[in-house]
Amino acid sequence: MSQCKHVAIIMDGNGRWAERRSHCRTWGHIRGSSVVSEIVEEADSLGINALTLYSFSTENWGRPTKEVSTLFKLLKKFLLRERQRVIKNNIRFKVMGDYQDLPSQTIQIICDLEEVTENNKGLKLTIAFGYGGRSELVSSVNNWIASNPGKMISQKNINNLLLVPDLGDVDLLIRTGGDQRISNFLLWQIAYAELWFTKTSWPNFTKDEFRGIVNKAIGRERRFGTVDANTSLDHSVGLAKKNKNIFLENREGINNE
């Protein structure tokens, strides 16, 4: 079983890949969409629990109309093409974000696949479409305020109010295409994620490169704010609380040394 329980990918570089080949940007998205199935299959074979793919951000509405329309159509084609494979492989499928402006038929396809796979126990495949990290956090806090007026909010409360709370923290964030930015993606969930930026454009991204990145990330020492390697963020938080209490109990003696 992979130590990377949750992997998130910013699938970038489609448009530039196409332009370098004297094609329109939409051609890059078409080629890039064919890569998704291979990476999903590899993530499943590696024993990864959750794979979250950044497909369309709230800021992507600023792109040319033709490009946006193509992304909408590609999502629909992907859902129709992969439906049986998702069900057969026990994958739980979800779309996170504001996708209500999609064509009604596509929305229905999404809802249907989410419902059919909601009890599946395999890979948790999530497509972030119409998604923005800041919007997710604002929505979470506003929902808390509406339901708990006057009460303080905790980290646990925010975790429980995220769009897909059971995904947990991201262990590894990969961005293809050469840029080294987070681009408003899973801002809360990537607090302690390993970050990996590759120059490979998404249409050229292969399962071999994906596997290599995951294996290298597993080899990185994760300390979660401590000095020595730690098994998880929860373990690190527990250790920090314990050591803080010990320090406070002995503070006077320490200060007099």
Range of 89's domain? 6-220
Helix, coil or strand: residue 252: helix
Average pLDDT over residues 159-173: 97
pLDDT given at position 58: 81
Q: At which residue do the structure tokens 């899973």 appear?
A: 186
Report which secondary-structure segment, H or E, holds 50: strand 50-57
Do 214 and 247 fall into the same domain? no
Q: Considering only CA atoms, which of 75, 90, 94, 79 is closest in space to residue 32?
A: 75
Instruction: Dihedral sign for Cα 120, 87, 26, 51, please.
Output: positive
Residue 1 located in a structural domain = no
31: CATH: 3.40.1180.10
pLDDT given at position 1: 39
Residue 103 located in a structural domain = yes
* Cβ contacts of 226 within 8 Å, gap of 6 or more: 236, 239, 240
Q: Does the active-site annotation cover 112?
A: no
Residue environment code for 71-84, b if the CB has 16+ CB neighbours within 10 A, otherwise e: bbbbbbebbeebbe
d(CA 4, CA 234): 15
Do 156 and 245 fall into the same domain? no
Residue 184 above 90 pLDDT?
A: yes
Do 146 and 177 fall into the same domain? yes
d(CA 167, CA 63): 29
Residue 172 located in a structural domain = yes
CB distance 197 to 175 below 8 Å: yes
Do 189 and 208 fall into the same domain? yes
Counting the structural domains of the chain, the total is: 2
Do 238 and 149 fall into the same domain? no
pLDDT tens column, 34-71: 999 999 999 999 999 999 999 988 888 888 888 888 88
Distance of CA 71 to the CA centre of its chain: 18
Do 139 and 255 fall into the same domain? no
The edge-to-edge listing of strands for the beta sheet with 6-10 is: 92-96, 124-131, 50-57, 6-10, 172-175, 194-197
Q: Which of 14, 44, 49, 60 is catalytic?
A: 60
Q: Does the active-site annotation cover 148?
A: no
pLDDT given at position 2: 47
- Average pLDDT for the chain: 89
Distance of CA 191 to the CA centre of its chain: 12
